[in-house]
Amino acid sequence: MGRLNKIILTLALTGLIISPSAVKADIPGPAEGYTIQRAEQILSDNVPVKTDESTELNASGACGDKLNWEYDPSKHKLIISGSGEMYDYDAPKSTGVNENTAPWQSIIEDKVSLTISEGVTSIGCNAFYGCDLKSVSLPDSLRKIGDYAFADSRLTKIKLPSGLTELGDGAFMTCAGLKSINLPGGLTGIGSETFSGCGLKKVKLPKNIKVIGDYAFSNCAKLAKVKFPKDSHIKIGYEAFSGCGFKKLKLPNGSVDDIDSYAFASCSKLQSVKIGEGIAQINGYAVFYDCKLNKISLPVSLTSIGEGTFSQCIKLKNVFYPGTEEEWGKISIGNDNDFLLSAKMHYGK
């Protein structure tokens, strides 16, 4: 049998050539420390060989025009390096792992340590969706975290860099183990569902925040305290804080300009609310729907209260209003606010 025929026979049986290379594959046996490469990549074009695609192992690759990733399975460590923006990806939960999901999704294992190196400016959509992340290190160069980037990723802690200016929709959604978060001062908005279903206990909003998206903190059952900055004029979205664990809620003077429907609905522990001066309208439907409110303080600046704002607030007994009874009478109050209207009024307080 000729030398070429022997090569063909050997490759037909194995489908693989084992050779030293710069890229490692963590496999048992005598091949440890070597790369498994597809045979046709190193054979002459005159010797076509069929290989099993399932044997192809990728431990590194591109994840941006100038970004690369490398995974060390022996240390459960994933490193993103280079400069610029990361590509956006599909969520594996909805589509399954395919050519449009992040390339590491099919190979990383449990309790991965993720390091994103200095120079990276954005994390792509769905990049680490559903990954079991033990720890995450983010660079000072990071400016954007894309939609659902860390959703359902089992994170327990993360430090956001001070230069971060954009948090995408669902970025940390259903990270139930995430108990605290530092929101950088340059952040101007929080996207829809960004922290929905997280284990957060308290949140301090930065002074530059202007928008809190729909469902942003919904179903954060352990969230007992949110500190709103004065004179920040925030727009609070639909169900932004529904199902949270507040007992008290304070909105300082000028902190909020608009409150959308069901914003604080079903906060079953919420007993008292104080809304500071500056807001003119609470027009969102059922803003405090089914809360256990027993008292609320409303500002003189208020001109209208929307339909059903206090619907099902059956325990509301006291309303504090710093203005006069005459001023209170000028406020337009929509239908389905019977519990507000039947509560005891305290004027000048």
DSSP string, 52-76: -GGG----EEEEETTEEEEEETTTT
Is residue 156 one of the residues assigned to a domain?
no
pLDDT at 242: 97
Domain identity same for 46 and 83 = no
pLDDT at 285: 87
Q: How far is 173 from 129, CA to CA, in rounded Å?
A: 9
Is residue 160 one of the residues assigned to a domain?
no
Region of poorest pLDDT, from 82-96, 118-132, 314-328, 330-344? 82-96
For the chain, what is the domain count?
3
pLDDT at 94: 60
Instruction: Identify which of 178, 215, 217 has the alpha carbon closest to the alpha carbon of residue 195.
Output: 217
Is residue 158 one of the residues assigned to a domain?
no
- On whether the CB atoms of residues 163 and 183 are closer than 8 A, the answer is no
| Domain boundary residue, one of 121, 144, 167 | 144
Cα-based distances in Å from 109 to 58, 206, 255: 14, 36, 44
Domain identity same for 52 and 63 = no
Instruction: Identify which of 284, 346, 286, 342 has the alpha carbon closest to the alpha carbon of residue 319.
Output: 346
Q: Is 342 left (phi over 0), alpha (psi -120 to 50) or beta?
A: alpha
Is the pLDDT assigned to residue 252 strictly greater than 50? yes
Is residue 151 one of the residues assigned to a domain?
no
Domain identity same for 234 and 349 = yes
Query: Could you tell me which residues come within 8 angstroms of residue 13 by beta carbon, excluding any fewer than 6 positions away?
Result: none
Is the pLDDT assigned to residue 212 strictly greater than 70? yes
Is residue 169 one of the residues assigned to a domain?
no
Q: What is the mean pLDDT of residues 24-33?
A: 40
Domain identity same for 98 and 73 = yes
Instruction: Identify which of 187, 192, 120, 123 has the alpha carbon closest to the alpha carbon of residue 155.
Output: 123
Is the pLDDT assigned to residue 145 strictly greater than 60? yes
Q: How far is 195 from 178, CA to CA, in rounded Å?
A: 9
Cα-based distances in Å from 256 to 18, 20, 227, 229, 337: 64, 63, 12, 9, 22
Instruction: Identify which of 272, 268, 267, 265 has the alpha carbon closest to the alpha carbon of residue 251.
Output: 272
pLDDT at 44: 36
Q: How far is 119 from 70, CA to CA, in rounded Å?
A: 16
| Domain boundary residue, one of 56, 84, 99 | 56
Is residue 293 one of the residues assigned to a domain?
yes
pLDDT at 43: 35
Is residue 171 one of the residues assigned to a domain?
no
pLDDT at 272: 97
Domain identity same for 278 and 226 = yes
pLDDT at 12: 41
Average pLDDT value for the chain: 86
Containing structural domain, residue 234: 179-349
Domain identity same for 336 and 203 = yes
Q: How far is 85 from 120, CA to CA, in rounded Å?
A: 6
Q: How far is 122 from 117, CA to CA, in rounded Å?
A: 11
Is the pLDDT assigned to residue 19 strictly greater than 90? no
Domain identity same for 228 and 330 = yes
User: Where would I find the beta strands (DSSP E) of 73-221?
Assistant: 77-82, 84-85, 112-116, 120-123, 133-137, 144-145, 166-167, 189-190, 202-204, 211-212
Q: How far is 119 from 113, CA to CA, in rounded Å?
A: 19
Domain identity same for 331 and 194 = yes
Domain identity same for 106 and 224 = no
pLDDT at 95: 61
Region of poorest pLDDT, from 91-95, 189-193, 301-305? 91-95
Q: How far is 319 from 341, CA to CA, in rounded Å?
A: 9
Domain identity same for 45 and 63 = no
Domain identity same for 193 and 91 = no
Is residue 173 one of the residues assigned to a domain?
no
Is the pLDDT assigned to residue 288 strictly greater than 70? yes
Domain identity same for 299 and 342 = yes
